[in-house]
Amino acid sequence: MSDHKPQKANQTNLRLGEIGLANYEPYLMNRIMGRYNASLRDEMAQLGLTTAKMRTLAVLSVVDGPMIRELSVFAVVEQSTLSRALDSLSGEGMIRREAHEQDTRATRIYITEAGRAAFEQLWPQMAEAHDQMFAGVEPEDRRVFLTTLQKMLANIRKHNF
Amino acid sequence: MSDHKPQKANQTNLRLGEIGLANYEPYLMNRIMGRYNASLRDEMAQLGLTTAKMRTLAVLSVVDGPMIRELSVFAVVEQSTLSRALDSLSGEGMIRREAHEQDTRATRIYITEAGRAAFEQLWPQMAEAHDQMFAGVEPEDRRVFLTTLQKMLANIRKHNF
């Protein structure tokens, strides 16, 4: 790209410019998660799943009967999007809602056998994407990476779960 | 939550169930990036920015004149979404397009002074969210964390940039 102008070291971009995108963790994490999600897209589409629906099923496969606001936090899907995802999943028989007798906010969401089967079909693809990510990373570095992620989430999460 | 049913160790969810969400890196990375983006939302809204527009400005503040397909990869924004973001940013005078004489696909995107000013207004909030994330993480662990992210991106990226 011969017409690519050289990077200017303006005062105004000095901070991110000094760090550089390739050394800025939030940038790298976005790039990595973007690729991870993209690598699941074809498989998800075949199963009629969106990212929101996939994350919902993933969470429900290991968390039994969360309330909607808990599910929204776990799945990192905003409540309005989650609400549509749940309507769709419910229509496809992949989840069921269990209303609380007195408190509608306390509705709990459960995965069905059909939902579990759909997630199980996606899981090998997720596991493969995961393995590919960590190829060549030393076990000790993986341990540090995981404990750092856990500390980061503890540092910034708003919810106590 | 006394009515929370105990976690069942079904054969079907054994794999993610065994790992556990709190030990599954893609889950933790999604949760962390979700919080990071949410922490910037108010500041972005005040500046009339969406996540796509903010990422576009962030990339353009350090990468001079990328083509749209490069910008789409760097900013982790799909081309259709990016296209709308660029129309909006262009209307607000925050970016400008420079068309290639022969090849329209080779249009290059540049940040304007107004775009730089908007990003500069957001940057302190980004820096604060970043500092909060890494509070209490030892320098050596941060170094391992960063080099692991760089290795992960190299493992899974499709583009050579």
pTM (predicted TM-score)? 0.84
User: How do residues B127-160 score in pLDDT, each as one tens digit?
Assistant: 999 999 999 999 999 999 999 999 999 999 877 6
Pairwise CB contact (< 8 Å): A145 & B25: yes
Phi and psi for B67 in degrees, rounded to 5?
-80, 165
Q: Are A132 and B156 in contact (CB under 8 A)?
A: yes
Helix, coil or strand: residue A3: coil
Q: What's the pLDDT score for residue A161?
A: 65
Name the closest residue on chain A to residue B55, using Cα atoms: A27
Q: Which B residues, 48 through 77, put their C-beta within 8 Å of a C-beta on chain A?
A: 55, 58-59, 61-65, 73-74, 76
Q: Is B106 near chain A, with CB under 8 Å? A: no
Check pLDDT > 90 for residue B101.
Answer: no
- What DSSP assignment string belongs to chain B? -TTPPPPP--GGGHHHHHH-GGG-HHHHHHHHHHHHHHHHHHHHHHTT--HHHHHHHHHHHHS-S-BHHHHHHHHT--HHHHHHHHHHHHHTTSEEEE--SS-GGG-EEEE-HHHHHHHHHHHHHHHHHHHHHTTT--HHHHHHHHHHHHHHHHHH-SS--
What span, in angstroms and rounded, lies between the C-alpha atoms of A78 and A82?
A: 6
Q: Take residue B90 and report the two structure tokens written for it.
A: 């262009």
Statement: residue B1 has pLDDT above 70: no
What pLDDT shows up at residue A106? 87
CB-CB under 8 Å, B148 with A156:
no
Residues of chain B in contact with residue A161, where contact means CB-CB under 8 angstroms, are: none
Q: What does each of the 161 residues of chain A score in pLDDT, given as a tens digit? A: 444 444 433 333 347 877 889 999 999 999 999 999 888 988 899 989 999 999 999 999 999 999 999 999 999 999 999 999 999 999 999 999 998 888 877 899 999 999 999 999 999 999 999 999 999 999 999 999 999 999 999 999 877 66
Contact list, B31 vs chain A (CB under 8 Å)? 73-74, 76, 153, 157
Q: What is the pLDDT of residue B161?
A: 65
Structural domains of chain B, with CATH: 24-156 (1.10.10.10)
Give the residue from chain B lying closest to A55, CA to CA. Answer: B27
Q: Could you give the CA distance from residue A44 to residue A49 in angstroms, rounded to a whole number?
A: 5
List, for residues B7-51, the tens digit of each pLDDT value.
433 333 347 877 889 999 999 999 999 999 888 988 899 989 999
Residue of A nearest to B19 (CA): A62
State ipTM.
0.84
Residues 77-96 of B with CB under 8 A from A: none
